[in-house]
Structure 1
Amino acid sequence: MGAEQRNSTRRRAIPWVVLALWIGVLALASPFASKLGDVQHDRVTDYLPASADSTQVAKIQEQLPGGQTTELVLVYHRTGGLTAADRTMAAQQLAQIGTLHPLAATPHGVPSADGSTLMYPVTSNWPGTDEKKRTALVDDIRQVAQDKGGLTVEIGGPGALATDAGKVFDSLGGPLLYTTVAVVAVLLILIYRSPVLWLVPLVVAGVGDFLSTGIAYGLHQAFGTTISGQSTGIMTILAFGAGTDYALLLVSRYREELRRVERPYDAMRAALRGCGPAVLASSGTVAAGLLCLLAADLNSSRGMGPLGTVGVLSALVAMLTLLPALLVLLGRRVFWPLVPAYGSTPKARRSLFTAMGSSAGRRPLLVLTGGAVLLGALALGILNLPGSLKQDDTFVDRPDSVTAMRTLAEAYPERSAQPIDVVTPAARADATLATIRATRGVAGAQQGRSGHGWTEISVTAVGAPQSAAETRTIEDLRHTLKGSYVGGPSAQQIDLRDTNARDRLVVVPIVLASVLLILIVLLRSLVAPLMLVAAVIAVWGAALGIGGLVFGPLFGFQGTDPGLGLLSFVFLVALGVDYGIFLMHRMREESTGGAEPVAAALTALRTTGGVIASAGLVLAATFAVLTNMGLVQLVELGFVIAVGVLLDTFLVRTYLVTSASVLLGRKVWWPGRLSRAPEAVRPERQPESV
């Protein structure tokens, strides 16, 4: 067998071997992927800071007899005043509820001063930490407690709020996946204009997502990584969004090589050599940025780092192995009807990015200054961001649990309808109870369960839930009660706010340092990395500013999630630099080939602009899927990242980075070799005539 025949046999065999290996990998991952839902939880402790008082309270409550309690409030209300029949109806419904599920104590009604409302605090230990049982308990109570003849019945309290939030997080599974797939499919059809080609990267992205679920389960089993609905939703979005981005870059380069190289296998090898380093570097940058979240104290943020990284890297492996194998096996016909024939040249046409590059090249200083002023003006919208998000403002559509709490706030202005939970060493329970009752802002307190050396005390504050008065009461209790822990829903919100502020101070510098170091190593320059990092910081500020202009006035949101700043920063810096690498890598490639700085910058934009634009649209669209979810914090996060990606794609990468590169010239590569002008070739000295 000749060398050429052996090479031909190898070219035909390698794609099939890769495909067979992937079938084996998926078979191994399948049992683990199917178990991810079993370890996914959206408990309070999964979203709280690891070291906070409120987290310790929640953990100790799980150990007390009956496990973690489910606290509910049944609210009976009639405008104009409750009737005797209404009170009888309420008593009958409470009795029926007691026969369905065991209650910790017999509920006693608390009438409002105006006689329009009757409040029944209900506590059950039956669900413990089982979220499905808690949901069943709340749903069963809602089935019994029905409106009748002008009497409204609402179910509020921490248990009802947690149940409604849990239902939203459950929707991050199937609905989020289906919506993401549909959005990516539509965009790929529009981008490729082919009835077949769009399906290949979409299937490969799905394979990457499936692999990531199996790995995520393994991380949980091996390291106890927190698995929440939020983190798995982000993992899916990154697997499809980032994976499709890598596919767009690879397919674009592969199409170029098919015009120059006869065999698809050889064309794919050339494409991988050409764009592989940029894809590896960009995915490595995203992964490094996300892993910096491990330094966060907030459990949900810390768990999101590894899972987001798993989503990106799973998509990367799939796109650099399985996608090339499938494209080679399908041959040129996968591009039908726009098949790139060997030896052909693409139809010459003036693209949008050629025009944009020309304008940036003609007036780079004007373009750069104008863009910087625009981003700065948009960033001023941050001043209009609403304050911290309260617990009952976290839902986009107001559920029954939220309307119940607002009814209580209006009917009982003199007391809080949401308890403050204190756990104290059992030996000091009586002294702690006396201290609590003597604390400013406390309306009442009573002992609860005891076990494992701890006693639970339920405290009622004078101030309304999450008001300034209640916050002062919680802070006073924490200052006074040494050796005890103060928790509950309002205390959790305080801890979330404080921990997010701490995490920003710790994580942001780590993200900037790690991303900058990777860029310096990759681009072998100091100026280009600083330029890219400055650009993505500007994008982050502008995207948050746009959020400030629309969250309150347009969306009607009453607050901003405390974690929005940190999470949006990590994602926009990591993903924004991702696109910068695509552009600067091609610019460096052109410069290394001998192109002058201006020509290199404009050529890089012309050749990669379309791919970056397509990738940006796909990524923005996948994050925009979050705006269709039912929680305000998810809508805010999805909106800011989607807007930031679009700004980065169509303003910063195309205009500002290109114009800055044109202005800097060779200095953009300082102090690397490309920053120095090539030495002029001296003419050979002619021998002197004799």
Structure 2
Amino acid sequence: MKSSSWWIRWLVPVVLLVIWLGIGGALGPYAGKLGEVATNDQAAFLPQSAESTKVLEARRAFERSESVPAIIVWQARDGGDVTTAQQEEATRALASLAGQRGISETPSPALRSQDGQALQAVAPLAPDLGDELPAVLAEVRAAADSVSGLSAQIAGPAATQADLADAFSGIDGILLGVALGAVLLILLLVYRSLLLPLVIIISAVFALGLACAVVYALADRGTVRVDGQVQGILSILVIGASTDYALLLAARFREELAARGDRTAAAIAAVRRSAGAIIASGATVALGLLALLASDLTNNRALGPVGAIGIVCSVLATLTFLPAVLALLGRAAFWPATPKPGDATAEGHRVWRRIASLIDRAPRRVWASTTLLLLVLAAFSPGLSSKGVPLDEIFVKDAPSVTAQQALARHFPGGSGQPAVIIADAARAAEVQAAATATDGVASAAPVTASGRPGGGPPLVVDGRVRIDATLEAAADSDAAKNTVAELRTRLHAVGDADAIVGGYTAQRYDTERTAARDRTVIVPVVLGIILLILVMLLRSLLIPVLLVATVALNFLATLGVSALVFEHLLGFSGTDASVPLYGFVFLVALGVDYNIFLMSRVREESLVHGVRQGVLRGLTTTGGVITSAGVVLAATFAALMVIPLAFLVQIAFIVAFGVLLDTLVVRSLLVPALVIDIGPRSWWPSALARGRRSDAPAGG
């Protein structure tokens, strides 16, 4: 008996600890290596079935070499007109770059704007420069700056790619540092313990290292795609989820330790009594993320399995590493606020006793007022536009590529440098060109010749097809340009036997927007169905799961309403990226259900002993502090995404952080308990609790 007890008490925790130390030592560095297999090439994340994606594949046959264009724009320093001599000097300056490192072919001649105040030219860069891109762009800039009397700027995909790489450069160091620092500070303030916060942080870091190693291996083999956004979200998701699950288990361990006095027995009991809620919570988030596989956007599908891997690693670390360390440390884990045998923890913190008392006195008034508040906030949700972020809002801070694009738009047609690309049958090329030119919003259209550029000779024919570039009058990222693309497609599809398809930057944005809208109609019901099924299995009830799903959905709409006001009036965003509402829904609904799972699984446990009404009050007071702490920690970790100066991540950070706080402080603390108390035992239909097998004691009893 003693031998068996020794194995459980010491050997099992030590073996688990050694295994995780090995995982942390061997795989921890992968948290910083994931960027090696990440790509920020936005073309890799287009809708697979979209017309613009088909054009992207077809246009490569017309390119003498694969390239990423850098668009150089010159303006006179004195604000006057550009001279012919300066135009010739600019052409010579760029021509001198031909054959140099990173330049895929001879840059185009410099063209003067109609107002005579600017020049533009295109330098095609090699597509696989990676970390060398900034140096190559610096050489292009040096050549452009050599033109006397003119100031030069660089726009186009190459410049945007460089600015994106610069924005994501802090994702391995700054983002993780801010997130872990915020978590550590909150845990120190809330728990007033020196060792427990460090143990929880180490558990999260080990989970992140394991997740990154698995994702690295899959990305290296091409099984999943990873970009900077997915990489950043993975880090935040694992840290936040790991901390949430760890707080739940640590709180249950402290409770069991106070009741039992034996640390091994307390660790086993804590795992046994919290594992169901933690696994159900992890399954909810993981399966919700995997629902993104139904998306037609490659980066959405990439986030699904990557995020699910992170959640699985978080659950694994929480249920193995953390209890092993707690079993070895015992009360020392909570020093100096160590629990003593016999401490009454079931009554909960006095603040939560007061909240429970308030709900118990007037449950209908509480749920009615909180529902009204959420409905008022949700009324503003239609004001949140998800038609995409304009180019000048992609970066939170000023970016060189954005200011260059603005300068280009001031002097040339809005679509200069980002033409609509038309691929059509060569036999109908003249008709297609005429139809394109006649389309409202198209400034000009010309076929690509053997030189690789539009105009100046007979069309280049490849496999019986031609490429026609149509310059749009409106800015390439504007709604007007998208409308022009839609009209252009309608006209060209009507040209018989031309088999014309339209792509390019604007068409890609248009297709992405439409695909994102389609994804929302498909994925949202799937996620809600998954969550409902898991809740039914966990709580063994039908009515309460429906109520919980309805409350988190209402919380999501209320969050969108607040976001619409904040983005437009405080942050100055005219809209959100097309994928932001879907990402916000998946994270917020799945993570919001987490807290209801933590609460209601404890409520069910207490209700089986004390009755439904007392079960709700005891469950709320017992879990109130730890769930609120978990919500604050998760909100802080997602808020850390704001250190990456990209509108997409800032918007996701705000939606999830605010939504989690709203869910934690209002929905889970007030709305859900009040609803369950007001409905009574019937809320647990059709389980045995619905038949009221046990009568409730008075509130104070």
- Check whether TM > 0.5: yes
Alpha-carbon distance in 1 for matches of 2:346, 2:538: 34
Alpha-carbon distance in 1 for matches of 2:670, 2:221: 46
Matches within 5 A, 1:310-389: 310-345=309-344, 351-386=350-385, 388=387, 389=389
Say which is worse superposed, 443-452 or 230-239, in terms of deviation. Answer: 443-452
Matches within 5 A, 1:654-669: 654-669=669-684
The alignment-based identity, stated in percent, is: 39
> Aligned to 1:465, which of 448, 461, 476?
476
After TM superposition, the score normalised by the length of structure 2 is 0.90
Tell me the amino acid that sits aligned with residue 331 of structure 2: R
Map of 1:243 onto structure 2: 242
Map of 2:418 onto structure 1: 418
What's the secondary structure of 1:470's corresponding residue?
helix
Describe the superposition over 1:302-331 as per-residue Cα deviations: whole angstroms up to 9, x where unpaired: 111111111111011011101111222223
Say which is worse superposed, 88-97 or 439-448, in terms of deviation. Answer: 88-97
Describe the superposition over 1:67-95 as per-residue Cα deviations: whole angstroms up to 9, x where unpaired: 53212221112353135485576456424
After TM superposition, the score normalised by the length of structure 1 is 0.91
- Residue 669 of structure 1 and its aligned partner are, at CA, apart by 0.4
Map of 2:650 onto structure 1: 635
Q: Is the 8 A contact 2:28 2:206 kept in 1?
A: no
- Structure 1 pair 33–368 and aligned structure 2 pair: CA distance change class (3 A): closer
Map of 2:193 onto structure 1: 194
Alpha-carbon distance in 2 for matches of 1:414, 1:7: 76
Map of 2:392 onto structure 1: 392
Alpha-carbon distance in 2 for matches of 1:591, 1:36: 46
Tell me the amino acid that sits aligned with residue 9 of structure 2: R
Alpha-carbon distance in 2 for matches of 1:526, 1:132: 54
Say which is worse superposed, 462-471 or 296-305, in terms of deviation. Answer: 462-471
Say which is worse superposed, 100-109 or 661-670, in terms of deviation. Answer: 100-109
- Structure 1 pair 223–157 and aligned structure 2 pair: CA distance change class (3 A): closer
- Structure 1 pair 328–452 and aligned structure 2 pair: CA distance change class (3 A): farther
Alpha-carbon distance in 2 for matches of 1:672, 1:87: 82
Say which is worse superposed, 606-615 or 162-171, in terms of deviation. Answer: 162-171
Q: Is the 8 A contact 1:72 1:156 kept in 2?
A: yes
What's the secondary structure of 2:239's corresponding residue?
helix
Matches within 5 A, 1:441-452: 441-442=441-442, 443-447=444-448, 449=452
Map of 2:105 onto structure 1: 104
Residue 564 in 1 paired to residue 562 in 2?
Answer: no
- Residue 679 of structure 1 and its aligned partner are, at CA, apart by 7.5
Q: Is the 8 A contact 2:446 2:469 kept in 1?
A: yes
Q: Is the 8 A contact 1:39 1:217 kept in 2?
A: yes
Map of 1:115 onto structure 2: 116
Map of 1:535 onto structure 2: 551
Q: Is the 8 A contact 2:390 2:477 kept in 1?
A: yes
Describe the superposition over 1:474-533 as per-residue Cα deviations: whole angstroms up to 9, x where unpaired: 224433155343222111110111001100010011111111111111111111101110
Map of 1:506 onto structure 2: 522
What's the secondary structure of 2:499's corresponding residue?
coil
Tell me the amino acid that sits aligned with residue 581 of structure 1: I
Residue 16 in 1 paired to residue 32 in 2?
Answer: no
Tell me the amino acid that sits aligned with residue 322 of structure 1: F
What's the secondary structure of 1:578's corresponding residue?
helix
What's the secondary structure of 1:74's corresponding residue?
strand
Q: Which runs of 5+ in 1 are unaligned?
A: 681-690
- Residue 109 of structure 1 and its aligned partner are, at CA, apart by 2.4
- Residue 230 of structure 1 and its aligned partner are, at CA, apart by 1.1
Q: Is the 8 A contact 1:66 1:128 kept in 2?
A: no
Say which is worse superposed, 559-568 or 238-247, in terms of deviation. Answer: 559-568
What's the secondary structure of 1:331's corresponding residue?
helix
Map of 2:456 onto structure 1: none
- Residue 46 of structure 1 and its aligned partner are, at CA, apart by 3.0
Tell me the amino acid that sits aligned with residue 20 of structure 1: V
- Residue 99 of structure 1 and its aligned partner are, at CA, apart by 6.1
- Residue 634 of structure 1 and its aligned partner are, at CA, apart by 1.2
Q: Is the 8 A contact 1:496 1:562 kept in 2?
A: yes
Say which is worse superposed, 604-613 or 432-441, in terms of deviation. Answer: 432-441
- Structure 1 pair 247–150 and aligned structure 2 pair: CA distance change class (3 A): farther
Matches within 5 A, 1:245-260: 245-260=244-259
Residue 165 in 1 paired to residue 164 in 2?
Answer: yes
- Structure 1 pair 405–35 and aligned structure 2 pair: CA distance change class (3 A): closer
> Aligned to 1:614, which of 629, 644, 651?
629
Alpha-carbon distance in 1 for matches of 2:106, 2:345: 78
Describe the superposition over 1:511-570 as per-residue Cα deviations: whole angstroms up to 9, x where unpaired: 111111111111111111011101111111111111111111111112221112111111
Q: Is the 8 A contact 2:288 2:586 kept in 1?
A: yes
Tell me the amino acid that sits aligned with residue 379 of structure 1: A
Alpha-carbon distance in 2 for matches of 1:286, 1:511: 9
- Structure 1 pair 452–187 and aligned structure 2 pair: CA distance change class (3 A): farther
Alpha-carbon distance in 2 for matches of 1:350, 1:322: 28
Q: Is the 8 A contact 1:158 1:489 kept in 2?
A: no
- Structure 1 pair 381–151 and aligned structure 2 pair: CA distance change class (3 A): farther
Alpha-carbon distance in 2 for matches of 1:171, 1:601: 45
Describe the superposition over 1:321-358 as per-residue Cα deviations: whole angstroms up to 9, x where unpaired: 01111222223212111112334446988522221121
- Residue 439 of structure 1 and its aligned partner are, at CA, apart by 4.7
Alpha-carbon distance in 1 for matches of 2:338, 2:694: 44
Say which is worse superposed, 408-417 or 222-231, in terms of deviation. Answer: 408-417
Matches within 5 A, 1:168-179: 168-179=167-178
Matches within 5 A, 1:484-499: 484-499=500-515
Tell me the amino acid that sits aligned with residue 43 of structure 2: T
- Residue 603 of structure 1 and its aligned partner are, at CA, apart by 0.8
Tell me the amino acid that sits aligned with residue 332 of structure 1: R
Describe the superposition over 1:141-195 as per-residue Cα deviations: whole angstroms up to 9, x where unpaired: 2344449998432111232223322332343333222221111111121122122
- Structure 1 pair 472–343 and aligned structure 2 pair: CA distance change class (3 A): closer
Q: Is the 8 A contact 1:81 1:117 kept in 2?
A: no
> Aligned to 2:49, which of 48, 51, 67?
51
Map of 1:583 onto structure 2: 599
Alpha-carbon distance in 2 for matches of 1:552, 1:138: 34
- Structure 1 pair 67–379 and aligned structure 2 pair: CA distance change class (3 A): farther
- Structure 1 pair 534–345 and aligned structure 2 pair: CA distance change class (3 A): closer
What's the secondary structure of 1:198's corresponding residue?
helix
Map of 2:614 onto structure 1: 599
Q: Is the 8 A contact 2:97 2:106 kept in 1?
A: no
- Structure 1 pair 38–65 and aligned structure 2 pair: CA distance change class (3 A): farther
Alpha-carbon distance in 2 for matches of 1:638, 1:348: 35
Q: Is the 8 A contact 1:44 1:58 kept in 2?
A: no
